[in-house]
Amino acid sequence: MPRIVVLGAPSLAQIFTTPPTRIDGAPDALEKFLLNFDFDADAGKIFTTDGPESAMDFMTPTGTHDPDLKSFKEAGGKMIVFHGVSDPVFSVVDTTKWCMRLDPNNGGNAKSFAMFYWIPGMNHGARGPTTDDFDMFSPLVDWVEKGKAPGAVFAA
């Protein structure tokens, strides 16, 4: 019997139920959840008002809601974070809030090691009516190896 690939089950569990359904025992439990999900009976759970604020809150590891990345920063780490504004899975607002919490935890100077870019129109990953043809790696290399902080990143 062919094995079912269960790529969508985690998203289904976290997006179409509130609070999001925690599923342990991947991949078999995810496959079972996906096969047994009843859109007529279960999809209405998306409109409930109790539970976590968002799927991002539910799926984010403990301790990341108040980020400081002290060890990363002290080790000389640099990061570029980007997020598609049209991501239907995770809201760019959640990533923005994370970055906004990172800054005061670093004396208002998170940009010394972390930069965040919104990608207009970009879906979850890429594609769509978007400017998803860009290079974030070269600016990161220049920042790490030459000390040149990234500025505008051109995209097509």
Instruction: Grade residue 9 by pLDDT with cuts at 50, 70 and 90.
Output: low
For the cut 90, the answer to whether the pLDDT of residue 59 exceeds it is: no
Same domain, 69 and 136: yes
Same domain, 51 and 112: no
Domain count, the chain: 2
Tell whether 21 is covered by a domain: yes
Rg (C-alpha) for the chain, rounded Å, is 19
Same domain, 18 and 79: no
Same domain, 86 and 125: yes
Tell whether 68 is covered by a domain: yes
Determine the Cα–Cα distance for residues 21 and 26; give it in Å rounded to an integer: 13
Tell whether 45 is covered by a domain: yes
Tell whether 29 is covered by a domain: yes
Across 106-124, average pLDDT = 90
pLDDT at 68: 81
Q: Which amino acid is at 50?
A: D
Same domain, 28 and 84: no
Tell me which residue range forms the domain holding 126. 63-146
Q: Within a 13 Å sphere around the CA of 63, how many CA atoms are in the beta-carbon half?
A: 3
Same domain, 79 and 109: yes
The model carries a pTM of 0.63
